[in-house]
Structure 1
Amino acid sequence: MMTRLLVSVVDDDESVRESLPDLLREFGYAAQAFSSAEEFLASEYVEQSRCLILDIAMPGMTGPELHRELIRRNNKIPVVFVTAQGDGSTRPKMLEQGATECLSKPFSDAALLAALTAALKAG
Structure 2
Amino acid sequence: MHDTPMRNTTTIAVVDDDESVRTALKSLLRSSGYHVRTYCSAMDFLDANAPADTHCLISDIQMPGMSGLELHEQLGAMGFQIPTIFITAYPHLGANTPRLVACLPKPCETDRLLNCIEAALRQRH
TM-score using structure 1 length: 0.90
**Match of 1:106, SS?**
coil
CA distance in 2, matches of 1:45, 1:63: 15
Answering whether residue 69 of structure 2 is matched by residue 68 of structure 1, we say no
The Cα RMSD (Å) is: 1.5
Which blocks of at least 5 consecutive residues in structure 2 are unaligned? none
**Match of 2:74, SS?**
helix
| Deviation of 1:118 (Å) | 0.7
Runs of 4+ in 1 over 6 A off after TM superposition: none
CA distance in 1, matches of 2:34, 2:109: 17
Answering whether residue 85 of structure 2 is matched by residue 80 of structure 1, we say yes
Q: Which digits, 9 at most, give the CA deviation of each residue in 1:79-102, with x for residues without a partner?
A: 00110233xx335x2xx2111111
Answering whether residue 69 of structure 2 is matched by residue 49 of structure 1, we say no
CA distance in 2, matches of 1:59, 1:39: 12
Answering whether residue 93 of structure 2 is matched by residue 90 of structure 1, we say yes
Number of paired residues?
A: 118
Answering whether residue 106 of structure 2 is matched by residue 105 of structure 1, we say yes
- Aligned with 1:15 (options 20, 25, 34): 20
Amino acid at match of 2:79: N
Percent of aligned pairs with the same amino acid: 41
- Determine which structure has the larger helix proportion and give its number: 2
Amino acid at match of 1:51: C
Which blocks of at least 5 consecutive residues in structure 1 are unaligned? none
Amino acid at match of 2:85: V
